[in-house]
Amino acid sequence: MATRISDGSPSDIQAKVNGASETLKSLNWPTVILILVTGGGNFLATQNNSNQRQYQIDRAIDQIRDLHQALDQTDKRQRQAIDHFETLLANDHSNINKISDSLSNQTKLLGNQNAIMANQSKILENDTVVLKEIHEAIEKFQKMRRMDEMRGAPP
């Protein structure tokens, strides 16, 4: 069969219409309908599957976004907790330094009080010696007086 080149004339167009008509008549229509129905079903299934996938993708993206927000909030809370603990530690160090200074001052105060007590002990020892000497002098004086009385001397 020779291939004919179409020149666009009315007889040529009529020949094409007649050929198409014969082709349409020779088609197995139940097969054509089956192909159309199957193709349409596949098209609808593909569209439905595409919509479901897009929904699942959107949902996954939303879940990932929620996870990122939760992680950001957790990170923020942890940083705040660390800042709070650092502040508490700084306050504790300051309080420890103040307590250390206070203990140092108390130690100095107790040292000074010990020195005062030692001086007071020395004073008491000296006073004891002086009182002992006075007591001895009074006893000697009383003894002399008794002796004078025994001799008969006037008072």
83 lies in the same domain as 125: no
- Residue 5 backbone phi and psi in degrees, to 5: -90, 130
Domain finish residue from 69, 89, 109 = 89
Residue 110 lies in a domain: no
Is the pLDDT score of 121 beyond 90? Answer: yes
- Asked whether the whole model's pTM tops 0.75, one would answer no
- Domain span at residue 79 reads 28-89
In a domain, 1, yes or no: no
Note whether 82 and 133 are same-domain residues.
no
Q: Per the domain annotation, does 67 fall within a domain?
A: yes
133 lies in some domain: yes
Residue 131 has pLDDT above 80, yes or no: yes
Q: Tell me if 13 is assigned to some domain.
A: no
Q: Are 6 and 16 in contact (CB under 8 A)?
A: yes
Q: Tens digits of per-residue pLDDT, 11-64? A: 667 767 766 777 777 777 788 788 888 888 888 778 877 778 888 888 999 999
Q: Are 85 and 124 in the same domain?
A: no
Q: What's the structural domain count of the chain?
A: 2
Name the DSSP letter for residue 138. H
Strand segments (E) across 40-114:
none
Alpha-carbon distance values, 14 to 10, 11, 18, 20, 140 (Å): 6, 5, 6, 10, 174
Confidence of residue 6 (pLDDT cuts 50, 70, 90): low
Confidence of residue 1 (pLDDT cuts 50, 70, 90): very low
Beta strands in the chain (DSSP E): none
* 152 phi-psi bin (left φ>0, alpha ψ -120 to 50, beta other): left
- Inside any domain, residue 11: no
Residues 33 and 78 both lie in one domain:
yes
Q: Are 84 and 133 contained in the same domain?
A: no
Same domain, 124 and 83: no
Is 97 part of a structural domain of the chain? no
Among residues 89, 110, 141, which one ends one of the domains?
A: 89
Tens digits of per-residue pLDDT, 89-107?
Answer: 888 888 888 888 888 999 9
- Domain contains 143: yes
- Residue finishing a domain among 71, 89, 107: 89
